[in-house]
Amino acid sequence: MTLNAGPDWSAETRHIEKYAGHVAGVDEVGRGPLAGPVIAAAVILDPDNIPVGLNDSKKLTKTKRETLYDLINQSALAVGIGEASVDEIDQINILQASLLAMMRAVKNLDVQPASLLIDGNQPPATDLPFECLVKGDTRSLSIAAASIIAKVERDRMMGDLAKIHPEFGWEKNAGYGVPAHMKGLNLVGPSRFHRKSFAPIRKLLDEE
């Protein structure tokens, strides 16, 4: 049994050769939490200046993510961020909101990519050639970079929202339904940053 050695540049090489242009890696974070937006990132790495240590953001420590976040922003040819709000999540569902955030991230790139490498098995609406890679953040360096950018951006955003609502502990749990978050919810009820379409929040609202 061979262990995955981590993300590499093979998918990017294939795309660069096939489409004769830049390739952007695209990933999102925040599908599972009960609160806060979903954030996506699109990253076009410079093939000659790829930060060492890129990997799926979930496999990195917070300190390592923060360091790589800065290195990616300094060295990448382009970084785009996209967001779908809590209201949009409630209106169109979390999958569609995730794809919307991805599309916005690609549109926010300063450099036009020739093709996209997308984490998962569902592409956003795009006219660009694309390839979906399941567990792409462990296979593609560009998607790994996008996962780091999206994760750090969202964690910082949830840290800012925690200053408005300290009772939920979002600076630590990023909006996921951990015991400390649920305790706050049961004490004070949902805030305007909670996803009303998610079952635990809907249940609390129905009880009010």
d(CA 43, CA 31): 20
- Contact (CB, 8 A) for 45 and 176: no
Domain of residue 46, CATH code: 3.30.420.10
Residue 17 lies in a domain: yes
Residue 194 lies in a domain: no
pLDDT, residue 2, reads 41
Q: Which of the pair, 119 or 206, is modelled with greater confidence?
A: 119
pTM above threshold 0.75: yes
Question: For residue 140, which phi and psi values (nearest 5 degrees)?
Answer: -115, 130
Q: What is the number of domains present in the chain?
A: 1
- Digit-coded pLDDT (tens) for 165-180: 999 999 999 999 999 9
Share of the chain above pLDDT 90, in %: 96
Residue 185 lies in a domain: no
DSSP three-state, residue 27: strand
Residue 114 lies in a domain: yes
Residue 133 lies in a domain: yes
pLDDT of 3 > 70? The answer is no
| Domain span holding position 52 | 10-164
Residue 205 lies in a domain: no
pLDDT grade for 5, boundaries at 50, 70 and 90: confident
Comparing 1-15, 24-38, 79-93, 153-167, the range with the smallest average pLDDT is: 1-15
d(CA 175, CA 64): 21
- Digit-coded pLDDT (tens) for 106-157: 999 999 999 999 999 999 999 999 999 999 999 999 999 999 999 999 999 9
- When the pLDDT of each residue in the chain is averaged and rounded to a whole number, the result is 96
Residue 172 lies in a domain: no
pLDDT, residue 4, reads 59
pLDDT of 1 > 60? The answer is no
d(CA 41, CA 65): 14
Residue 159 lies in a domain: yes
pLDDT, residue 208, reads 74
Q: What is the mean pLDDT of residues 9-21?
A: 97
